[in-house]
Structure 1
Amino acid sequence: MTQHGSNPLIGAAQLQQAKRILYMSHLALGDYVYQGVFLQQLAATYPHLEIDVWFDDCREQRKSWHGGRNQILGQWLESEPNISHIYANPDSEQQRQQQIQDAQQRHYDLVFFIATTRSERFCHYARLIAGDGCAVGAYALNAVQRWQHKEAIAALDASIKVSKSTRFDHISEFYRHHFHALVAMDSPARAFQQLRVPQLYLDALQNSDELDNFVFINHLSTTEKRDWQLAQVFECIATLHQAQPTLRFVINATNEQVTQLQHQVQSNNQLRDINISTFSAKRHFYELPAMISRARLVISVETAIMHLAAALNVPALALIRAKAHQWRPLGPGEILVGGKRVDSISAQTVADKALALLAKA
């Protein structure tokens, strides 16, 4: 039985008659852990539909991390059997206009979006891409912005205002509310994705003795207030090593950061007798979840890593700010909440909690 809102903007009859649909949103890995289940359920509810995804975040200026997101998120989406085609973050406005033209050539019957930022651009692009098709969306614009962009909103076939995320206890409930307001579809059985790593990437790690009995640590994010300090990482590792001398550690970093991180680890005399490796997924997204799947415990700040651990059913100790409570992971493990900054959580507090979790494993 279809379990959707009383009056979704795209009804079941429209979906049954459609052949191709485009979903647009400013996705990151963590977002997709929670949104992906709805796209999977959409495909299961309407198996005849060809589903494409636009994750260009519609920024005017390209960010330094766009390339990395395009690669890792793009590789994950391209591996999803229910997704046919993707549109990533462009290198320039010219490239974005080319993407819009390419999307127009795919003749979508239905285009829908959830945009919590730069909503006016999503309204405009959704209408351009849909052409004679149906374009609807959920936008986040205040009263002044709605007046400024009233023509873009009015050009849509239908739209709703994004409800404030603070209304919901968890981000998964926020997405559930908006997907069911937009699209007539069955309700997913789970709140987040279960990630299955292709055997190829698991096999690549299978014979590595260095990857037994280890803790995977991710201390960096895209903003300083969500980071844990490297000194705290080293203190935590030293404490854990003292309690469990056979424990090994893998510290995650981006490709750009990993060489410097290796040097910092090797030059620290207090860590000389501790088995510490650095890691970065160099060739494919699935290298990261493959590594996480081998860990006894994941310690992560509020980035996609903690959500990937949940998707892999690996125990995680998540370090988050109080205001990020809605983004807490829902998998096994524990959550430590700091104040306005993640590094307000002490290394000793993390080590104590980690040892308690390891004792349960």
Structure 2
Amino acid sequence: MKQLIPPTLLAQAKKILIVTHMAIGDFTYMQMCFRALKRAHPHLEIHLWVDERRRSANPEDWPHLKNYSLYDWLAASPYIDKTYDQNYSPALHAQSIAEARREDYPIVASLTHMACHRYARLTREICPRGFILGLAKQKYRFFELSKKLSILKFNATIPLYESQERDVPHVSDIYAQWFSKAFGLDIPKPDRYPVIHIPDQWTAYARDQISTWGLGSKIVFINTYSKGPERCWPLERAFELIREMRSHPQWRDAGFVINVVPEDLPAAREIYNNAALPDTHLFSAVDNFFQLPAILALCSLIVTVETAVMHLANAVHVPVIALMRQNNPEWVPIDRENSAVILVKEMDAWVTKIELPEVMEKVLSWPLC
């Protein structure tokens, strides 16, 4: 396959900027592509622009956006040499653009699958003279002329996949295809499997936390939170699930950890106090991203909605039961042997339509449990 970025340009470049609107789930798989790029071109510095689509002019929104836990993982990555993570306000976004323009990148690649035309304009603003590449829809309608004209700013484009296509590949395969087309990389399937290196201090933290909680070796981690309400499960159902699991001998002595996003901790504590379940604890990674995978790695089973926890479970090799919608089949867990998926029955149904008996059926019938 002919690579879109000219090989001589890639060989001569000292640095490259990759623009994304990345979430933790994206980086779980895309980091393996960055690793392949770094190994193929060790001379090349990889700079990453993380665009914040929730960018806000309201100062009250900034603390939450500024402390996005993904940035902890990016800072620890051996494959990323620089990260632009100050894009959560219009003023900082403008400063980041100015900073990136001063770098005078010879190559900028936009791997953003939403609003591709906007990122065509952004990458050309950052890189007025260099080679820019990006994703683009395969077809633009007649009333989308302005979008099509923006896409023409790219020197080369990669066709965007469609989530509703039949037999859509796994997201890890999609990312590998992007890097193959852009950089000419061959990333074998085993090299696409996510890996996470947890620093020793956070492994020690997790062990100390489990010990402080007084939990034994059988621990179940439950996560009901996702960014979109359509992918969340009611927190109350997590407590119902615990009661139901405890009614069966194999889970009677298990400990339970319930994940809570930091901003919902006060409300979750009220529900938790009313539930009064023994050996059950709320958890939130409030200090550092690595708190989450460190705790996950010590668990026996993870039950989660469709979010980063689902993919991190595969990365730390802990069995997972995932509650998912039908809309994005490319995001199913990559490890099929250690994962079970419960799908809503209708295409546009929310995860709340998954009832407790469906989850218990999977818990009790799945061999790994």
- TM normalised by structure 2 equals 0.88
Find the counterpart in structure 2 of residue 122 from structure 1.
119
2:334 maps to 1:330: yes
Q: Secondary structure at the match of 1:30?
A: helix
AA aligned to 1:129 is I
In the TM superposition, what is the alpha-carbon distance from 1:354 to its structure 2 partner?
2.1
Q: Distance in 1 between matches of 2:101 and 2:352?
A: 46
AA aligned to 1:214 is I
Q: Alpha carbons of 1:251 and 1:344: their partners in 2 closer, same or farther (altered >3 Å)?
A: same
Q: Alpha carbons of 1:173 and 1:219: their partners in 2 closer, same or farther (altered >3 Å)?
A: same
Q: Alpha carbons of 1:149 and 1:360: their partners in 2 closer, same or farther (altered >3 Å)?
A: closer
| Aligned positions of 1:86-165 closer than 5 A | 86-88=83-85, 90-140=87-137, 142-144=140-142, 147-165=145-163
Q: Distance in 2 between matches of 1:349 and 1:182?
A: 43
Q: Secondary structure at the match of 1:155?
A: coil
Q: Alpha carbons of 1:46 and 1:326: their partners in 2 closer, same or farther (altered >3 Å)?
A: same
How many pairs align? Answer: 352
In the TM superposition, what is the alpha-carbon distance from 1:56 to its structure 2 partner?
0.5
Q: Distance in 2 between matches of 1:66 and 1:130?
A: 30
Unaligned 5+ segments in structure 1 are 1-5
Q: Distance in 2 between matches of 1:120 and 1:324?
A: 22
Q: Distance in 1 between matches of 2:67 and 2:182?
A: 26
Q: Distance in 2 between matches of 1:330 and 1:297?
A: 16
AA aligned to 1:291 is I
Q: Which runs of 4+ in 1 moved over 6 A?
A: none
Deviations 1:136-169 (A, max 9, x none): 1112373346521344323322224313234423
- Aligned identity (percent) is 28
Q: Distance in 2 between matches of 1:91 and 1:230?
A: 29
Q: Distance in 2 between matches of 1:59 and 1:12?
A: 36
2:42 maps to 1:42: no
Q: Distance in 2 between matches of 1:318 and 1:8?
A: 36
AA aligned to 1:222 is K
Find the counterpart in structure 2 of residue 3 from structure 1.
none
2:200 maps to 1:199: yes
- More displaced stretch, 125-134 vs 153-162: 153-162
Q: Alpha carbons of 1:9 and 1:273: their partners in 2 closer, same or farther (altered >3 Å)?
A: closer
| Aligned positions of 1:165-176 closer than 5 A | 165-167=163-165, 168-176=168-176
In the TM superposition, what is the alpha-carbon distance from 1:109 to its structure 2 partner?
1.8
- More displaced stretch, 58-67 vs 106-115: 58-67
Contact 1:26 1:57 in 2 (8 A): yes
In the TM superposition, what is the alpha-carbon distance from 1:132 to its structure 2 partner?
2.2
Unaligned 5+ segments in structure 2 are none
Q: Alpha carbons of 1:112 and 1:8: their partners in 2 closer, same or farther (altered >3 Å)?
A: same
Contact 1:138 1:162 in 2 (8 A): yes
In the TM superposition, what is the alpha-carbon distance from 1:115 to its structure 2 partner?
2.1
Deviations 1:100-151 (A, max 9, x none): 1111122212110122212122101111212322111112373346521344
Find the counterpart in structure 2 of residue 242 from structure 1.
247
Q: Alpha carbons of 1:31 and 1:62: their partners in 2 closer, same or farther (altered >3 Å)?
A: farther
- TM normalised by structure 1 equals 0.90
Pairwise CA RMSD: 2.2
2:354 maps to 1:345: yes
